[in-house]
Amino acid sequence: MLQFAVIGGNVRARSASPHMHMAAIMRLGIDAVYSAYDVEEPQLVWFLEFARRNLDGFNVTIPLKEAVKARVDALAPEAAGSGAVNTVAVRGGRLVGHNTDVLALLKLAGDALSGRRVLVLGAGGAARAAIYAARESGASAIYVANRSPERAARLAGEFGARAVPWGSTPPDVEVVINATPVHDRAVVDLRAARHYIEFVYNPPETAMLRLARELGLGAVDGISILVEQGAEAFRIWTGVEPDRDAMRAAVLRFLGRGAGDSP
């Protein structure tokens, strides 16, 4: 039996990933199971040794994406370039880090990012994926804002981007990406933007996503990113393309919405 998992802070209570991946596993009839482990950084070394011996792959979420990157045996190009890992494949006891957040953004929003001026909100692992995807898509300029100006400046400097104050919107910004947990208020002015990309999937419609839709912006919601990055992880682990519709329906059920409801 194949063994997969997700690790992070309090994931057993809040993560939709086990439901989403088990839906894909059941649809394909694969002999596999997907579990959730609450892991904090002091426990990470122990968990990685456990994973080498017992797992075939696992996902990584807050707050471990950067810490895992420093401890795996090898990195896929998008993980090395972004400086964060959200998916690990276990191959013969070796841990290979990937970043399927990057792959999901390139697939879902690469055209929207190409040639555009992009504002990324956040300075953690998701923000790293967003900045790297924007750069790989050929964004003409990348701005970074975070509640900690120091973290924004460090991250922007690493990628050749420009740090801007939290809550501000440079006047020429065309795409805004929310890579923070903020979901209950509008952090920046979206009226001049063309596209909005949301990482938060719970709630399915955040305050800024709702505003973006009201303004008629092109929008990528958090559930779409969750499902696509999960599908990319599933493909990396198994070599098989999963049923994304089944995965999305499982996420909606987990969030207490009908599979036919709009997110």
For residue 110, give the H/E element and its range. helix 100-113
Going from N- to C-terminal start, the domains of the chain cover 2-98+224-254, 102-220
- Residue 145's Cβ-count burial label (10 Å; 0-12, 13-18, 19+) is buried
pLDDT tens readout for residues 96-138: 999 999 999 999 999 999 999 999 999 999 999 999 999 999 9
Residue with tokens 């795996």: 72
Provide the mean pLDDT of the chain.
Answer: 95
Q: What is the pLDDT of residues 193-209, one digit of tens each?
A: 999 999 999 999 999 99
102-220 CATH choice from 3.90.1150.10, 3.10.105.10, 3.40.309.10, 3.40.50.720: 3.40.50.720
What is the arithmetic mean of pLDDT over 64-79? 96
CATH number of 2-98+224-254: 3.40.50.10860
The reported pTM is 0.94
Checking if the pLDDT of 11 tops 50, the result is yes
State yes or no: pLDDT of 257 exceeds 70. no
Asked about 69 being catalytic, the answer comes back as: no
Catalytic residue among 19, 65, 117, 248: 65
**Same fold for the domain at 2-98+224-254 and the one at 102-220?**
yes
Decide: helix, strand or coil at residue 50: helix
Q: How confident is the model over 159-172, as pLDDT tens digits?
A: 999 999 999 999 89
